[in-house]
C-alpha cells in the first residue's frame, strides 16, 4: 500500500497577494497531477492541515474545485489556518468528517488503521488535543487489536528546534506522548505544520512531519529564531507499507525530474 501525505497547501483566491508570492492553488493542482501520474501512484491521499491560508469561504471554494482532480480517495485534516465549521460545511461529500464536535475520524478498509485528530484551536496558531480527544484516541488504540495504527494530526507533538514554529506548537504534547507510550502497535505519527521534513521519537514511536506543497519554512534553529519561508521545491511524503517491511517513509518532489538512467527499465 502507498499512502501520499501532502500538507500545508495554504490555498488562497487568485487575487490574494499571497498568491503572487507562492501560487499555492496552482501548486496543489501540480501536486494532484503529479501523484495521479506518478510511477509510485498512491492508493490514498491525506492532506494534513492548513488546507487554506485564512479560513475564508472563497478559499475553500478554490480547494473544492481542486480536490476532485485527485484520482484516489482524499482525506482532509484541519490545521491552525483552517476553520473546522466551514470545512465541515463546505465538504459534505467528505462524510467521514463528524457532523458535530471535533473533526476526529478513523479510516478503515486498509491493512493499516488511520486515526486522524483535530488539533485546531479556533483563531489560534497553537494546537491542542484536550482530555476528551486523548481519551478517544486511547480507546481507538485499545479497540484495534489486528492492525498497526498510523496517527495523523497537524501540530507535531515535539519541539523541533525551529523556535518560531515551536511557539505555535501543540500545547499538550506531553499528554499525547503518554497515550502513545501505552501502545506498542502504533506504526507512525504523521504531522504537518512545520513545512519541513523532521523526525523524532515520541513515546517510543517515530513522528514525522511533512513538507509543504506550497512554500517551506526557513531552517533557522535555536537562538536563530526568526520566522522565514523559502522557495525550496514543493515536496510531499510517500509512505510505503508492506506486511513484511512495515511502513517506510520517502519524500518526493512535486516537480518531475528527468531520469538519468534506469537499468533495464523503461519507466
Ligand atoms: Fe502551514
Ligand atoms: Fe500550521
pLDDT tens-digit map of 127-166: 999 999 999 999 999 999 899 999 999 999 999 999 999 9
CA of 51 to the centre of ligand 2 (A): 9
d(CA 201, CA 188): 10
Domain-embedded: residue 261: no
CA of 18 to the centre of ligand 1 (A): 13
d(CA 177, CA 5): 22
Residues 147/113, Cβ–Cβ less than 8 Å: yes
Domain-embedded: residue 110: yes
Domain count of the chain?
1
Query: What rounded mean pLDDT belongs to the chain?
Result: 96
Structural domain including 137 reads 2-253
Buried/exposed code over 189-225 (b: 16+ C-beta within 10 A; e: otherwise): bbbbbbbbebebebbebebbbbbbbbbbbbebeeeee
CA of 69 to the centre of ligand 2 (A): 24
Mean pLDDT of 10-22: 97
CA of 26 to the centre of ligand 2 (A): 20
Domain-embedded: residue 43: yes
Q: What is the CATH number of the domain that holds 168?
A: 3.60.21.10
CA of 179 to the centre of ligand 2 (A): 23
Mean pLDDT of 213-220: 97
CA of 61 to the centre of ligand 1 (A): 19
Q: HSE on the CB side for 89, CA within 13 Å?
A: 11
Counted residue by residue, the chain has a size of 267
Domain-embedded: residue 30: yes
Domain-embedded: residue 171: yes
Cell readout for 207 is: 513522528
Give the ligand with the smallest distance to the CA of 82: 2
CA of 194 to the centre of ligand 1 (A): 7
Give the ligand with the smallest distance to the CA of 127: 2
Distances (CA, A) of 54 to 18, 58, 178, 217, 219: 10, 10, 33, 18, 24
CA of 7 to the centre of ligand 2 (A): 9
Domain-embedded: residue 40: yes
Domain-embedded: residue 265: no
Give the ligand with the smallest distance to the CA of 165: 2
CA of 49 to the centre of ligand 1 (A): 7
- The band of 264, judged by pLDDT with boundaries at 50, 70 and 90, is confident
Interval 97-107: pLDDT, tens: 999 999 999 99
CA of 21 to the centre of ligand 2 (A): 18
Domain-embedded: residue 46: yes
d(CA 194, CA 176): 18
Interval 66-121: pLDDT, tens: 999 999 999 999 999 999 999 999 999 999 999 999 999 999 999 999 999 999 99
Amino acid at each position: 500500500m502507498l499512502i501520499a501525505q501532502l500538507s500545508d497547501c495554504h490555498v488562497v483566491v487568485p487575487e490574494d497577494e499571497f498568491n503572487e508570492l507562492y501560487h499555492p492553488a496552482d501548486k496543489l493542482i501540480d501536486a494532484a497531477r503529479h501523484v495521479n501520474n506518478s510511477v509510485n501512484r498512491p492508493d490514498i491521499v491525506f492532506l494534513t492541515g492548513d488546507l487554506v491560508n485564512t479560513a475564508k469561504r472563497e478559499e475553500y471554494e478554490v480547494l473544492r474545485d481542486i480536490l476532485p482532480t485527485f484520482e484516489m480517495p482524499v482525506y482532509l485534516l484541519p490545521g491552525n489556518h483552517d476553520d473546522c465549521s466551514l470545512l465541515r460545511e463546505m465538504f459534505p461529500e467528505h462524510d467521514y468528517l463528524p457532523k458535530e464536535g471535533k473533526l476526529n475520524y478513523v479510516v478503515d478498509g486498509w491493512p493499516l488503521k488511520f486515526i486522524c485528530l483535530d488539533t485546531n484551536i479556533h483563531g489560534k496558531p497553537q494546537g491542542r488535543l484536550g482530555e476528551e480527544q486523548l481519551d478517544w484516541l486511547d480507546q481507538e488504540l485499545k479497540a484495534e487489536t489486528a492492525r498497526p495504527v498510523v496517527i495523523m494530526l497537524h501540530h507535531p507533538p515535539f519541539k523541533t528546534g525551529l523556535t518560531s514554529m515551536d511557539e505555535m506548537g501543540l500545547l499538550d504534547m506531553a499528554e499525547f506522548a503518554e497515550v502513545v507510550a501505552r501502545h506498542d502497535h502504533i506504526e507512525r505519527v504523521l504531522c504537518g505544520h512545520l513545512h519541513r521534513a523532521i523526525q523524532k521519537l515520541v513515546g517510543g514511536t517515530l513522528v514525522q512531519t511533512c513538507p509543504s506543497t506550497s512554500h517551506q519554512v526557513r531552517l533557522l534553529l535555536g537562538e536563530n529564531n526568526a520566522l522565514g519561508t523559502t522557495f525550496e521545491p514543493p515536496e510531499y511524503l510517500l509512505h510505503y507499507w508492506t506486511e513484511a517491511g512495515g511502513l517506510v517513509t520517502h519524500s518526493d518532489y512535486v516537480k518531475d525530474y528527468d531520469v538519468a538512467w534506469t537499468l533495464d527499465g523503461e519507466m
